[in-house]
Amino acid sequence: MSNKSIAIGSDHAGFELKGDIIVHLIEKGFEITDCGPDSADSVDYPDFAHEVAKSVEASSADLGILICGSGNGVCMTANSHSGIIAGLAWEPEIASLARQHNNANIICVPARFVSPEKGIEIVDAFLDAAFEGGRHERRVNKIKA
């Protein structure tokens, strides 16, 4: 699971969990690009979601992690990018399936609905999984308009 580069960003609601995840991933050997914010002051989540999505689209990061209060805002923002498939996960199994069946390249975590431990489990499950291809590839190819 290590040696991958990860772009990560959040809003103010996800700031603390973002820090916990960064520490965890650095300990596991990942290269991290922190796209912000730099504090828990109120911010606009699209500013940071766009930065993570651009990093993944440009292949300067292998995968992305986004965190906001519900996970919805950052997920919707990331999915507005043509090269992104972002999935919202509040359980590790959902995160795994986002990679295995949907080839997600960004996972979105709802900070207000998961503990720090659960947030880390979600991220680990996402990063440990791989796209299965096969019947799923046909479906994934139909996602973008």
- DSSP state string for 45-90: HHHHHHHHHHHHHTTSSSEEEEEESSSHHHHHHHTTSTT--EEE-S
Residue 111 gets which letter from DSSP? G
Q: Is 136 a catalytic residue?
A: no
Q: Which of 12, 24, 50, 101 is catalytic?
A: 101
Q: Is 50 a catalytic residue?
A: no
Nearest in space to 106 (alpha carbons), one of 145, 54, 53: 53
> How many CB atoms are closer than 10 A to CB 66?
30
Q: Which of 68, 75, 81, 108 is catalytic?
A: 68
> How many CB atoms are closer than 10 A to CB 115?
11
Q: Catalytic residues, which ones?
A: 68, 101
